[in-house]
Structures are given as C-alpha cells and as structure tokens.
Structure 1
Amino acid sequence: MSRRNTWQDIREKVRRRIHRRDWAPGEMIPNEIALAGEFGCSRATMNRALRSLASDGLIDRRRKGGTRVALHPVRRAVFEIPVLRHEIEETGAVYGYRLVLREMAAPLGHAAPGIGAGAECLHLVAVHSGDGQPHAVEDRWIDPALPGLADAPFEGVSANEWLLEHVPYTSGELTISAEPADAGTADLLGLPQGTPLLCLNRVTLDGARIVTSVRLSYRPGHRLTTSL
C-alpha cells in the first residue's frame, strides 16, 4: 500500500512547480478542491500545505479571490532570541555577568511605546562579558505586571535568560542599527565615546501586550547570522 501524501509532501510538490515556473508569477493556481483531487488528499491537508506556502511568501491567498503565485516572493529571515550566556560560552570564553542598574522608572529612550500601559516599568542595565572582556550591554524595560518579576534574581541571572525561561511570548520586532556609543554605554564596554556599535533593539510581545523592550549594544567585531 502506498503512503498517503502528508501536507509537507504536498507543500514541496507545489513548491517545485512554482520554482519550475509551471505557474508563472502572478498566475492563478487551481483551487483547493481541484488540487486535493489531483494530489489524492483531503481538502484540509491541501489547505495546510497552501497556508505554509503563503507563510513562506511564495503564494498570495485572498478570501473569495483565489490563490496566485506571488509576483515578488518574499524570503523571511529567521532569528532566534539568543541566551547571551550560551552565545559567549560557545566561543570557549568564560561567561561573566554584572547587573549595573535595577530601578522602577517611567519608560524612556529606546523603550517601546505602550510598555507597562503607562505605569512605571522595571528598568535593568547589565553587562555580559567573556573572559573578563565586555561583550554586550543589555538595557532593558520589563512590564511590571509579569508574574514572578518582583522575586526574579537579576543580581545573579540576566533578564535575557530569566525571561526566556519563565515568560511566554508570541511575536516580536527587531531593529538592527549601527550607532555611536553614548557616554554610559562606552564606559561599560571600555570604549571611547562615539565608537560605532552594532545595536539590536527588540520588542517581545505576548499577543498585543508588550512583555519587554531591550537594546543590546555589542562591542565592534560582533557578527549576527540568520537563516533564510
């Protein structure tokens, strides 16, 4: 007995057709019922395969408007939120962590608008190091209503690591920029003020609620790698 096609099998077969230009960019493809009949699967299986291709940016699906091959296929970059301790230890260096500031304050600077719903937020500044050399400065704002936040041991465990372990999230936004080091960040990294730094500004959300907003400022030479 032959194995039934899974939605992953069908997704790859449709993907190959698109890559071969069996269906040209912008062209309407057969509907779900027709494709399900052709591939010998249920309509639900076909729908799952097409949803995956739409998520990958290869097709455009419109309710009551059919499905077309995307005119300009979009490849999405995939970023994982790294645990900075792991990132440093993987280089063979001995990890170090120092909490510089812990306070309750009104969000300002890089903090995402709307975090904390107008209340004061927990503001943390910490330095992550490898073999005693500063690696990155973590400047973070956290929604004060998060469960367990008041008792979180941030003097010994970074907010980066604690949040990933204890707080769920559904989505996020990441902005990458090159910026001159301000006086405070330069001092923490042991660099002259104005040194160009790689800065990652990340907002993490649970549904519509902002969990945390953080700026990570790295010493020169740091590399960021992702997959497409």
Structure 2
Amino acid sequence: MTLTETNSWTGIRKELLRRIHSRVWQPGEQIPHEADLAEEFGCARTTVNRALRDLAESGLVVRKRRAGTRVALNPPQRATLTIPIIREEVEATGRTYRHSLLERDFRPLPPMLHGAFPATLSEDVLYLKTLHFADNRPYAYEERYINLNAAPEARDTAFDEVSANEWLVHNAPYSHGDISFFAVSADKTLSRKLDAGSGTALFAMERITWAGNMPITHVHLIFAPGYRMRTEI
C-alpha cells in the first residue's frame, strides 16, 4: 500500500487492520506510537488517532493512557448484518416475488413499544401489515411501525407496488439498528397466513433502525417454515 493510499484515516485503518489480521502485530503486542505511525504514513498524528479510535471502538485494539495501544488478546468475532430487500432475497433464489398489503393505518404507538421505540407519543405512526410471497407461496409476514417524523414521505406512500421494506431501504437512510432473533409457535393466524401447521416453530426477528437518535421503523418479521438466515463473518 502506497503512502497516497494511507493518507486518510480510512486508508490507515485498512493497513493497521491488515497488520493485525496477518499477525504482523500479535495479540497483546504493543503497536507503534501515534507519532511513529504518522511519520511512517506521512500524515498528521490526528489522522492516525482517528484510525486507532475506530479500531478501539471495534474492540480490535485496547488503548490506555500513557500505556500506549495494544492488539486485543481476544478481539470480538462479529457477523456482518445488512437489511435485506425481501424482493431481492426471493429473486436471488430464482423464485418470483410479490407482496400483499393487508393493512395500512395511522394509529398511536402501542404502549408495549414506548420504551424500545421512542417516537413522539402524541403523534400517530404509520402501521402496516404485509405478506411477502415467493412463487405465490407465503414467505414472510410483516408488521411494521414507521415514525413519520423520520420518514415523512411515508405518509403519502401507498406501499402497494413497492413494499415498505424496500421503500425504507432506499428512502430512509439509517445510522444503526437493534435486532433480535427468536422462534415463535404458529398460532391460528400465523398458520393461515404462512401455510404452517399449528404449533410449528417459525423463525422470527424484531428490528429497529435509527437515524442518529431518531427511530425510523420498528418491524416484526415472521418467516414461513424452512427459512434460513445466512451472513458473513
């Protein structure tokens, strides 16, 4: 990597990450001081500092005042999760996608979500129920709340041609999110919507996305039997 490729903090971060992963710097080993790295890369010390702070926030290095920076002994192993567009997910398997909007309503946020999804309680949110299909077979059942302060254009969007899932990915950029995975037992409603036997264990997820401190959407997704999630590590 040339100096011109490492004169930004992202370029320096990439090179430091390479040295950590290739064991140029062993776990627990102290890495060169910021001033030495700045001289090596021909950049300002603050640029190196920014790269090291990002690595520290990722848990890959440990920084202590006056003790320098060391490679973490047990760096966290993290999976990379992105918000998939369900249409693309279905079409990638060679099947035909469509969705059906079952309900669209403006209503107050339910009390059970007040703590997790702090939208303005005095204002309505947009509530949607959607059923996603793959080759005309149920694929996923979705219940979603959209904070109209975060995505005001959703108020006048029908979501009949483009699903809320796809629309939000393209129109409501998020900074971070919270996600949980769990299993649910198919009740009478889920059995009917997802063509699943009563009591069948179904894969479910709950996700909240944020733009800074403002919540964008809360979604509860339940998938038809046989669904598997794959990601990179």
Question: What is the TM-score with the length of structure 2 in the denominator?
Answer: 0.83
State the number of aligned residues: 227
Shift of 1:48: 4.3
Shift of 1:157: 1.9
Q: Which residue of 2 aligns with 1:184?
A: 189
* Aligned residue runs from structure 1 range 56-95, under 5 A: 56-62=58-64, 66-95=68-97
Q: Indicate yes or no: 2:143 matched with 1:144.
A: no
Whether the 8 Å CA contact 1:115–1:211 is kept in 2: the answer is no
Between 1:166-175 and 1:18-27, the stretch displaced more is 18-27
* Aligned residue runs from structure 1 range 23-172, under 5 A: 25-62=27-64, 66-108=68-110, 111=113, 113-118=116-121, 119-145=123-149, 146-172=151-177
Q: Secondary structure at the match of 1:78?
A: coil
Q: Which residue of 2 aligns with 1:6?
A: 5
Q: Secondary structure at the match of 2:227?
A: coil
Distance change in 2, residues 1:166/1:16 (3 Å) = closer
Question: What is the TM-score with the length of structure 1 in the denominator?
Answer: 0.85
In 2, Cα distance between the equivalents of 1:30 and 1:195?
Answer: 56
For 1:225, which of 215, 220, 230 is the aligned residue?
230
Whether the 8 Å CA contact 1:95–1:128 is kept in 2: the answer is yes
CA RMSD, 1 decimal: 2.7
Identity of matched residues, % = 40
Shift of 1:65: 5.9
CA displacement, residues 163-188 of structure 1 (integer Å, 9 cap, x when unaligned): 11211211111111122123322221
Q: Which residue of 2 aligns with 1:201?
A: 206
Shift of 1:122: 1.4
Whether the 8 Å CA contact 1:110–1:215 is kept in 2: the answer is no
Shift of 1:41: 4.4
Distance change in 2, residues 1:110/1:54 (3 Å) = same
Whether the 8 Å CA contact 2:195–2:224 is kept in 1: the answer is no
CA displacement, residues 56-109 of structure 1 (integer Å, 9 cap, x when unaligned): 431023566632221320132211111111111111111111011112233348
In 2, Cα distance between the equivalents of 1:133 and 1:98?
Answer: 12
CA displacement, residues 104-156 of structure 1 (integer Å, 9 cap, x when unaligned): 23334874633422133211111000111000011111113332122102122
Distance change in 2, residues 1:24/1:85 (3 Å) = closer
Distance change in 2, residues 1:83/1:37 (3 Å) = same
Distance change in 2, residues 1:11/1:169 (3 Å) = closer
Between 1:48-57 and 1:154-163, the stretch displaced more is 48-57
Shift of 1:29: 3.1
Between 1:177-186 and 1:7-16, the stretch displaced more is 7-16
In 2, Cα distance between the equivalents of 1:198 and 1:109?
Answer: 25
Distance change in 2, residues 1:67/1:121 (3 Å) = same
Shift of 1:38: 4.4
Q: Secondary structure at the match of 2:3?
A: coil
Between 1:119-128 and 1:5-14, the stretch displaced more is 5-14
Whether the 8 Å CA contact 1:101–1:125 is kept in 2: the answer is yes
Amino acid at match of 1:175: S
Whether the 8 Å CA contact 2:130–2:143 is kept in 1: the answer is yes
